[in-house]
Amino acid sequence: MISLTLAQLAQAVRGQLRLAGSDAPDTVVSGLVDTDSRLIGPGDVFVAKPGETTDGHLFVPAAAEAGAALAIVERHVDVDISQVVVADAVASLADLARFVVARVREDGDLRVVGITGSNGKTTTKNLLARILQDEGETVSPRASFNNEVGAPLTMLRVAESTRFLVSEFGASAPGEIARLAGLVEPDIGIVLMVGLAHAGGFGGIEATLAAKSELVRALRPGGLAILNADDARVASMAAPAAERGVAVRWFGRGASADVRADDVEVTASGTAFVVSCDGESLPLRLRVLGEHHVMNALAAIAAATALGVSLAECVARLETVELAERWRMQPLGSDRVRIINDAYNASPDSMAAALRTLAQIVEPGQRTVAVLGAMSELGEHSAEEHDRVGLLAVRLGIQRIVVIGPDARRMYLEAVSQGSWDGEAIFFPTADEAFDYLVGELRDGDRVLVKSSNSAGLRFLGDRLGESFS
């Protein structure tokens, strides 16, 4: 965080400053800001956020012992540390993020890029951050820090020397992206796709479209919207962009896109394609598994080139990326039995993309195995979409389908009903039972996809399988 006096910080969050020890209103703080006391170090600021299972105020003593300079609290805690008492700790976190980013913009050359979409946000964020970090100090989210807490925490890592802030905006209900993006008014906004991820919270695909459009409406006038030309719903956001006085830059696979991919070839070692941008074309070999990541790479290139990075530099830097993020199309195991752990998140679109990748990367004599768990937050669409996954697995010719957990059982039932099979699909209530089966079942040449939403916990099963066959 930038350097602020205790008095300035208290004013920014509209709180009451209560000093401790030798601190004075003009005492300066400049450490990191976090809600996790385990990550607090000397000079940091601890935000005591009430939670569903515990209360951050219980950890103020631990933060003080770790050397925190200040605690932001909703009630005063009897600990020898200066505190700012606020009405709402999460709202104050947002207020502080808004203040800090505005101050850096005022005094420096900070450019802000916001990313949203039903799928691909974290991968795109990582690819873009990789390109930009060689241009100047770049701040981007850890993991998927994209909600009302994670996004402001990322923003608060901005310092006076920061040149680029890449923010990821997720949402489970209307209005959340507008609030988060409104904290920083991005210069550039990337919208990747509109799908059924979190549809249960939004109330349907059209409501999801309206929510994702909030990023375009939050861009500062004169900014740039980078839109997926291949997604009709995303393409419709050109209208609100024009209303906002925002230019549009298109990415996609079609000839009309400003940043385009041609000659796409998917293999077990990554995806090769030719990227064309502003009249220039270069080959790119992306080591991140999956054809769907081509679009994420195009979006990152569209943003980076708009910020002045050459296409050649974009390509060279992207080719150094080996893994988008842990548990996202992460290769584990060995050449003998390859495990692809993609179980950090799942939606109908990402599930279909992962299954298609599995079908594309096998060579003659190799077997495809899909280990599948439930997709969460689909609301009334859940039953239908789980059926679709089971049907798709059959139509792609996946040779062994292992479905885990009662919430995913419909995938298994649909696979059995659609395929004239004899034991190719199997169901297990728990991951432990599936692990025991798979350890004995997998053989040389198998290519295994592990895919589910985070809540299903199959990412840990993927790790166990990777270790067993390493």
DSSP string, 216-254: HHHSPTT-EEEEETT-HHHHTTHHHHHHTT-EEEEEESS
Mean pLDDT, all residues of the chain: 93
The answer on whether 423 is annotated among ligand-binding residues is no
Q: What is the pLDDT of residue 171?
A: 77
Which range is least confidently modeled, 9-23, 92-106, 379-393? 379-393
Q: Span 49-57, mean pLDDT?
A: 88
Q: Span 339-348, mean pLDDT?
A: 92
Which range is least confidently modeled, 98-102, 313-317, 323-327? 323-327
Q: What is the pLDDT of residue 421?
A: 60
Q: Span 214-235, mean pLDDT?
A: 96
Q: What is the pLDDT of residue 142?
A: 84
Q: Of 136, 228, 147, 226, nearest to 181 (Cα)?
A: 147
Q: Of 202, 121, 206, 101, nearest to 169 (Cα)?
A: 121
Domains of the chain, CATH where assigned:
4-88 (3.40.1390.10), 108-318 (3.40.1190.10), 330-468 (3.90.190.20)
pLDDT of 423 strictly over 70: no
b/e code 129-162 from CB counts within 10 Å (16+ = b): bbbbbebeebbbbeebbbbebbbbbbbbbbbeeb
Secondary structure of residue 370 in the 3-state scheme? strand
How many residues can be counted in the chain? 470
Calculate the alpha carbon distances from 441 to 130, 259, 346, 411, 465 in Å: 39, 44, 25, 20, 12
Give the end-to-end CA distance of the chain in Å, rounded to a whole number: 41
Q: Span 119-124, mean pLDDT?
A: 91
The answer on whether 451 is annotated among ligand-binding residues is no
DSSP character at residue 375: P
| d(C-alpha 257, C-alpha 148), whole Å | 33
The answer on whether 147 is annotated among ligand-binding residues is no
Q: What is the pLDDT of residue 381?
A: 84
The answer on whether 228 is annotated among ligand-binding residues is no
Q: CB neighbours (10 Å) of residue 172?
A: 13
Tens digit of each residue's pLDDT (9 = 90 or more) over 395-416:
999 999 999 999 999 999 999 9
229 token code pair: 């030309």
Q: Span 447-454, mean pLDDT?
A: 95
Q: What is the pLDDT of residue 203?
A: 61
Enter the pTM of the model: 0.87
19 token code pair: 């000093």
Residue 134: band (very low, low, confident or very high) from pLDDT cuts 50, 70, 90:
very high
The answer on whether 120 is annotated among ligand-binding residues is yes
Q: What is the pLDDT of residue 323?
A: 84
The answer on whether 397 is annotated among ligand-binding residues is no
| d(C-alpha 146, C-alpha 65), whole Å | 29
Tens digit of each residue's pLDDT (9 = 90 or more) over 248-265:
999 999 999 999 999 999
Residue 200: band (very low, low, confident or very high) from pLDDT cuts 50, 70, 90:
low
Q: What is the pLDDT of residue 199?
A: 54
Which range is least confidently modeled, 207-211, 214-218, 438-442, 451-455? 207-211
Tens digit of each residue's pLDDT (9 = 90 or more) over 80-113:
999 999 999 999 999 999 999 999 999 889 999 9
pLDDT of 419 strictly over 90: no
Q: Span 308-319, mean pLDDT?
A: 98
